[in-house]
Structure 1
Amino acid sequence: MATAVSIDRDTLPVTLADIEAAAARIMGSVVRTPTLHSQTLSQLTGAEVWLKFENHQFTAAYKERGALNTLLQMSPEARAKGVIAASAGNHAQGLAYHGNRLGIPVTIVMPKPTPTVKVMQTEGHGATVILEGETFDAAYAHARKLEAERGLTFVHPFDEPNIIAGQGTVALEMLADVPELDTLVIPIGGGGLLSGMGTAARGLKPGIELVGVQAELFPSMYAAVKHVDLACEGDTLAEGIAVKQPGTLTARIVEALVDDIVLVSERELEKALSLLLQIEKTVVEGAGAAGLAALLADPERFRGKNVGLVLTGGNIDTRLLANVLLRDLARSGRLARLRVRLQDRPGALFHVARIFHEEQVNIIEVYHQRVFTTLPAKGLITDIECETRDRAHLDRLMEALRAAGYEASLVELA
């Protein structure tokens, strides 16, 4: 068990009472998502695994909670003028959706490279979208400029007490539904979710273990709490938690309450996302898979514990989702690309295809390469994409090809 942490309510900006008040305030206007036990994931990891399906919110992410809690506490004058935020993700959609419901004008500033689908989704919820700058920092600076010029209220995605309190309602629901939870594994971007959930969980169950998870490519809160200097850059699947600079308030809360922060690799994120779709039949974005990725990466740490995971969101590009699933099939041996050296003569492809037939392997595509190769002019390389039942089936195919005298190798994934 984690050691109970003493919370100084005078120094931390959010209390259990704030989160309970937020829960009463937003009740009925956000989905009270289920917390369900996963028998298969429990068997797979050795822990008793409970999943909080925040991807079932209307905008498919928990961010609605903090956004709504903030909007409901604004004065009539501030509501009439409207709010502004810089976001290309779930915060934008949550704020836009609830602002539209409440009749509060919402302006969202997004970087110019933001995918069109995200712009359209946010506009579809009634917000005015302004594209400015090439980076999030540029969009953020422009949003703060418009805030001052137009008298708007800026709503920060994570470093604001009302946002943190709203996000903390996730933990209230989880512990009400599953009081026996003794460990919460929570994704961290800017730290708003972990700060809120950590405050609620410590207030209700002081000895609960709190573990934060970040992508290895963006270890910003990890670096802040452990007081080390680490680079934050790269193309991560978990773009929802790819934050270079954590919040000032959230860093204080996280450092005071959390037992540990762990980092997960891109491969672990891909595997977790794929498993959630295959086993739980639920779509999550990369950030939403981070908690399960942490369990898969270090099962011994969590073995025998009652672990709560938050599936924080389900907004993932369908093409990216397809790529992740195909890569997972390749790593498991069910999908493969074989590179076979052939002689450029009639019947060469027929003879190698016959081996695939004998081994009952389905050929999907065939690529001939005659020109861009180091082989002699009469040699060629053929890449064959195929489907097998599992890794053992693929190994039998490779053995049969080599036994027939073919030079064959697998084209491996990174």
Structure 2
Amino acid sequence: MAKHFHLNTPLLESLSMTKYVGTSVYLKMENSQPSGSFKIRGIGHLCQQLAKQSKGVVCSSGGNAGMAAAYAARKMGVPATIVVPSSSPQLVVQRLQDQGATVKITGRVWDDANAEALRLAETEGLTYVPPFDHPLLWQGHACMITEVAASLGPGVKPGAVLLSVGGGGLLCGVIQGLKDVGWTDVPIVAMETVGADCFNAAVKAGRLVTLDDITSEAKCLGAKTVCKKAFEYSQSSELTIISELVTDQQALCAVQTFLDEERVLVEMACGAALAAVYSGLIRGLQDEGRLPTLLGPLLVIVCGGSSVDMEQLTHLKHKLQT
């Protein structure tokens, strides 16, 4: 059995977040993965399955999927080409290059970069690593829930799971994980920012929707269309998935509060999930009867993010305060 590229991450109880929600809050600290986010679970798994004999891997990503693909490729000794949109911070480009990847900047949004990655896979015979839409990715991500079940111990299960949605890979992985441990009755609160809300738009429309543009600053949530599997899950009567939105300001405020209270810096995409606690949204869902008033422990997936530093945080504060 090949060694995994991901770590079994800490599950930490947050007393400060517990005060906001009134029930115990557990943080699955995916920000501590070697590539900076949960993505290494699925992408590491996919690369081990598909890229062993590869001439190289190619991945389209404005950040975390690219970091994970570059990390896995470096560990496997195969070349990596990461195609990023021009909206990606210079910090990300630098970090990808530090991992030994060739970085190609194409188009304005992820969808443009993805078209180029698919072309390169075709013309240069590279293994295409999709950032969120592949069963092997979801299978890899699912193990985080198995870890949570082991950490909480027998007889304890979350009252709800709170996570961010970009393209839907994390959501699909978490659902797969909940199935694996027999927790399909646990509701999921799926968070997005206004302007990067392809999942919420699909849930509202009752069909897949392609956004005209990504206007949110949470660039790592920036897929214009959510993956089909995530949408199908939202329509399933066996699962409870509550799709909610916060503003960029709320997500940024959550990032700052999390930094102050937990001493951890995450990116805006992760802040979308944290904002559900800090902005009172979880309490609101309880008041509306959409989550139980007596809620079991809340499991928050701290998905992390490698495209943030203090300079980027300051830049976002100036930009969003106007």
Same fold? TM cut 0.5:
yes
Equivalent-residue separation in structure 1 for 2:145 and 2:259 (angstroms): 24
Query: What residue identity is the alignment partner of 1:143?
Result: A
**2:214, 2:222 within 8 Å by CA — same for their partners in 1?**
no
Aligned to 2:28: 52
* Residue in 1 that maps onto 2:140: 166
Measure, in 1, the Cα distance between the counterparts of 2:16 and 2:86. Answer: 42
- Aligned partners of 1:135, 1:292: CA distance in 2, in Å? 25
8 Å Cα contact 2:10-2:29 kept in structure 1 = yes
The residue identity in structure 1 corresponding to 2:100 is G
SS in 2 for 1:195: helix
| Bigger Rg over Cα | 1
Q: Pick which of 300-309 and 146-155 moved more.
A: 300-309
CA contact 2:37–2:304 (8 Å) conserved in 1:
yes
Equivalence for 1:102: 76
Q: Distance in 2 between matches of 1:57 and 1:67?
A: 12
1:320 is displaced (CA, Å) by 3.0
215-224 vs 171-180, greater mean Cα deviation: 171-180
Which residue in the other structure is 2:235 paired with?
Answer: 255
Question: Relative contact order (alpha carbons < 8 A, sep ≥ 6): 1 or 2 greater?
Answer: 2
**Does residue 273 of the first structure (1) align with residue 255 of the second (2)?**
yes
Residue correspondence of structure 1 range 187-202 to structure 2 within 5 A: 187-202=164-179
Tell me by how many angstroms 1:258 deviates.
4.1
Pick closer, same or farther for the CA change 1:327–1:86 going to 2, 3 Å: closer
RMSD: 2.4
Query: Is the partner of 2:300 in helix, strand or coil?
Result: strand
1:89 maps to which residue? 63
Residue ranges of structure 2 left out of the alignment (5+ in a row): 287-292
* Distance in 1 (alpha carbons) for counterparts of 2:166 and 2:217: 13
The match for 2:223 is: 243
Per mean C-alpha deviation after superposition, the further-off stretch among 108-117 and 160-169 is 108-117
User: Structure 2 vs 1, CA of residues 304 and 26 (structure 1 numbering), >3 Å: closer, same or farther?
Assistant: farther
Structure 1 stretch displaced more, 316-325 or 117-126: 316-325
Please report how far the alpha carbon of residue 136 of structure 1 lies from its aligned counterpart in structure 2 after TM superposition.
2.8
- Return the TM-score normalized by structure 2: 0.86
CA distance in 1 between partners of 2:128 and 2:214 (Å): 28
> Is the 2:109–2:222 Cα contact (8 Å) retained in structure 1?
no
The residue type equivalent to 2:23 in the other structure is A
Equivalent residue for 1:224?
A: 202
Partner of 1:73, secondary structure, is helix
Compared with structure 1, are the counterparts of its residues 184 and 148 closer, same or farther at alpha carbon in structure 2 (3 Å cutoff)?
same
Q: Does 1:213 align with 2:160?
A: no
Q: How far apart are residue 268 of structure 1 and its match? A: 1.7
Closer/same/farther in 2, CA of residues 245 and 69 from structure 1, 3 Å limit: same
1: distance between equivalents of 2:81 and 2:25?
Answer: 39
Contact kept, 8 Å, 1:237 with 1:286, in 2: the verdict is yes
Q: Per the alignment, in what secondary structure is the counterpart of residue 186 of structure 1?
A: strand
Map 1:237-386 onto structure 2 (within 5 A).
Answer: 237-256=217-236, 257-295=239-277, 296-298=279-281, 299-302=283-286, 304-305=294-295, 306-315=297-306, 316-323=308-315
